[in-house]
Amino acid sequence: MSVKVRFAPSPTGMLHVGNARTALMTWLFARSQGGRFLLRIDDTDPERSKVEYELAIEDSLMWLGLNWDEKANQKDRLARYQEQIAKLQEAGRIYPCYETPEELGLMRKTLLSRSKPPIYDRAALSLTDAQISKYEAEGRRPHWRFKLNHEPIEWNDHIRGEVKFNGGDLSDPVVIREDGSPLYHLCSVIDDIDFDITHIIRGEDHVSNTATHIQMFEALGAVPPEFAHNALISDAEGGKLSKRLGSLSIRDLREIEGLEAMAVSSLLARLGTSDPIEAYTSLEPLVESFALSKFSRASAKFDPAEIFRLNAKIIHDTPFEAVNVRLAEIGLPDLDEEFWDAVKANLEKISDIKDWWSVANGPVQPVIEEPDFIAQAATLLPEPPWSPETWSQWTSAVKEETGRKGKQLFMPLRQAITGMDHGPELDKLLLLIGPDKVKERLSTKKAA
Ligand code: GLU
């Protein structure tokens, strides 16, 4: 059987971490099975759906490297939905209801106050023609519900295992709004049938929807696809994601935090699985090791600090040719391979390199706490041309003259030359700064 999956975002906001994880899982599943990946935009709600969000979601998916083989917009398929709706109306599987939102809210409250589940009571099914005419005369327009069969609904979920519902324990879902526009549930099922979707991977917040969807597939004469519901992401302590984390979008991670796409994917692909979280520089190893069965039912703990840790590892493994265009984009077109190789081990994210570029090129405020020692060291500085050995030649000479060693020897030199007390290896940094600037910094008088 050839596999086909879809990722179905609603373009009502940016792509957030949780949805990106579902997209990634869906994509990895498709690629690991040699299957196809459909991007379906769930844009039947004209008020909340925005083209700019659709474009931003696509942009985020592309940045993550999640390419799609096919794309569909639900707003282009309204005529098709009407055809299928007509069939369900004819078969009596959807029925008109006239309750107002206020009436429904009240019914719900009453049931809950009696400790009863808030299941719709199907009062609409016993309306007389006279009552319907009265409602119509009042200007009420019906919304439509799908009539669930009161029978067991079961499926073998690729992540959750055996899942069982009873149709009688669920409310008949509303599938058409008062204005006649079809809602997510039915459109989604019609699309999944028409696009030959074999597996639906989505968040566990959709589990009870799936129970109703299975009956919709059957009512439309289709065999339901397979399902996998991934556990939602929680914070590092297992609690609900905070507002800040919950609203963290892929665009924020890219633009505000300056992170690598593969740091994000390396974490999201393994979160909540039995595989270790490791820094990868391409999606391939994640495709190769992907299996839905590795995902746990328990919520996946998300700690953004881990993305930064992975990001640093990825940067440390990145060769110059993979970053030179981006370095030019961040305003460092003259930065060369020697510079990149000297400082990359000190970067957590690529933009950190700007700090080291400033250290090398100035201006730098040298930190000189022991002016006599620095003055003495300055007299021992080897003459140019300098080589990779210059640093060790110089520090050996200083050691011999002053008797200093270890931190006492190196730290004051580092502080004088870079103005900082940590950073890249000084043998390399010395060459990047160059003889003129090193001399100048060593001879700087301590600020009064
Ligand atoms: N648009 C729905 C959502 O974002 C799609 C769910 C599904 O995958 O069916 O929740």
Task: Say if CB 246 and CB 21 are below 8 A apart.
Answer: no
Mean pLDDT of 140-147: 97
Please report whether residue 135 resides in a domain: yes
Query: For residue 351, is it within any domain?
Result: yes
As a whole number of angstroms, the distance between CA 259 and CA 315 comes to 10
How many whole angstroms from 203 Cα to the centroid of ligand 1?
A: 8
Q: Report the chain's mean pLDDT, rounded to a whole number.
A: 95
Do residues 53 and 93 share a domain? Answer: no
Q: d(Cα 65, Cα 49) in Å, to the nearest integer?
A: 24
Rounded distance, CA 62 to CA 39, Å? 12
CA angle 197, 199, 203 (to 5 degrees): 115
232-241 per-position pLDDT tens digit: 998 877 778 7
CA–CA distance, 280 with 311 (Å, rounded to integer): 9
CATH of the domain at 165: 3.90.800.10
Atom 6 of ligand 1, residue of closest alpha carbon: 8
33 pLDDT more than 80:
yes
Give the residue whose CA is nearest to atom 5 of ligand 1. 8
Residue 114 within a domain: yes
89 and 152 inside one domain: yes
pLDDT(446) > 60: no
Q: What are the tens digits of pLDDT across the range 102-129?
A: 999 999 999 999 999 999 999 999 999 9
pLDDT at 244 over 80: no
The answer to the question of residue 448 being in a domain is no
Question: Which residue shows structure tokens 């055809």?
Answer: 83
Whole-number Å distance, alpha carbon 182 to ligand 1 midpoint, is 15
Question: What's the mean pLDDT in 315-333?
Answer: 93
Q: In terms of DSSP bridges, do strands 152-157 and 143-146 run parallel, antiparallel, or are they unpaired?
A: unpaired
- pLDDT exceeds 70 at position 447: no
**Are residue 22 and residue 96 in the same domain, yes or no?**
no
Q: Ligand 1 mean position to 161 CA, how many Å? A: 21
Domain end position, chosen among 361, 394, 412:
361
pLDDT at 400 over 80: yes
In a domain, residue 388? The reply is: yes
Please state the three-class secondary structure of 346-382 as a single string: HCCCHHHHHHHHHHHHCCCCCCCCCHHHHHHHHHCCC
User: How many CB atoms lie under 10 A from the CB of residue 255?
Assistant: 10
Choose one of 331, 361, 391: the last residue of a domain: 361
Sign of the CA dihedral with 255 first, then 257, 261, and 267 last: negative
pLDDT tops 80 at residue 217: yes
Residues 85 and 165 in one domain: yes
Q: Which of 350, 285, 284 is closest to 314 using CA atoms?
A: 350
Do residues 42 and 187 touch, judged by C-beta distance below 8 A?
yes
Q: Which two tokens stand for residue 240?
A: 């609900």
Distance in angstroms (rounded) separating the CA atoms of residues 371 and 96:
88
The verdict on residue 293 lying in a domain is: no
pLDDT tens readout for residues 341-381? 999 999 999 999 999 999 999 899 999 999 999 999 999 99
Give the mutation target among 206, 213, 227, 230 for probing the ligand 1 site: most ligand atoms within 8 A of CB: 206
Query: Contact at 8 Å (CB) between 239 and 45?
Result: no
Atom of ligand 1 nearest to the CA of 10: 1
pTM: 0.90
Contact in structure between 34 and 1 (CB atoms under 8 Å)? no
Q: Determine, yes or no, domain membership for 223.
A: yes
Q: At what angle do helices 184-194 and 78-90 cross, to 10 degrees?
A: 100
The domain spanning residue 52 has which CATH number? Answer: 3.40.50.620
Judged against a pLDDT cut of 80, whether residue 195 lies above it is answered with yes
CATH number at residue 390: 1.10.10.350
Q: Could you tell me if 189 and 337 lie in one domain?
A: no
Please tell me whether residues 375 and 356 are part of one structural domain: no
Asked whether the predicted pLDDT for residue 100 surpasses 60, the reply is yes
Domain that holds residue 98: 80-176
Q: How many Å lie between the centroid of ligand 1 and the Cα of residue 41?
A: 9
Residue 444 has pLDDT above 90, yes or no: no
Residue at 240 is within a domain: no
- Number of structural domains, the chain? 4
* The predicted structure's pLDDT at residue 237: 79
- By most ligand atoms within 8 Å of CB, the mutation choice from 26, 40, 54, 184 for ligand 1 is 184
* pLDDT at residue 112, rounded to an integer: 95
> Are 211 and 227 contained in the same domain?
yes
184 neighbors 74 (Cβ within 8 angstroms)? no
**Ligand 1 geometric centre to CA of 294 (Å):** 22
CA of 202 to the centre of ligand 1 (A): 7
Closest atom of ligand 1 to 42 CA is 1
Percent of the chain with pLDDT over 90: 91
* Domain shared by 25 and 66, yes or no: yes
**DSSP single-letter state for residue 273:** B
From ligand 1's centre to the CA of 8, what distance in Å? 5
Distance 88 CA to ligand 1 centre (A): 22
Q: Which residues, judged by CB distance below 6 Å to any ligand atom, belong to the binding site of ligand 1?
A: 8-10, 42, 188, 202, 206
Measure CA 387 to chain center: 45
Assess whether pLDDT exceeds 50 at residue 448.
Answer: no
What dihedral do alpha carbons 55, 290, 345, 420 form, nearest 10°?
60
> Residue 205 CA: which ligand 1 atom is closest?
10
Report which of 244, 108, 214 is spatially closest to residue 171, judged by C-alpha positions: 108
**Do 407 and 430 belong together in one domain?**
yes
Same structural domain, 69 and 129: no
Run of H or E residues at 211 = helix 207-219
Boundary residue ending a domain (110, 143, 176): 176
Label the pairing between strands 94-97 and 143-146.
antiparallel
What are the residues facing 153 on neighbouring strands?
Answer: 165
Residues 57 and 205 in one domain: yes
Q: Are 179 and 206 in contact (CB under 8 A)?
A: no
Shared domain for 195 and 339, answered yes or no, is no
Spell out the residues 6+ positions from residue 75 whose beta carbon is closer than 8 angstroms to its own: 41, 43, 44, 46, 49
DSSP-assigned beta bridge partners for residue 203: 230
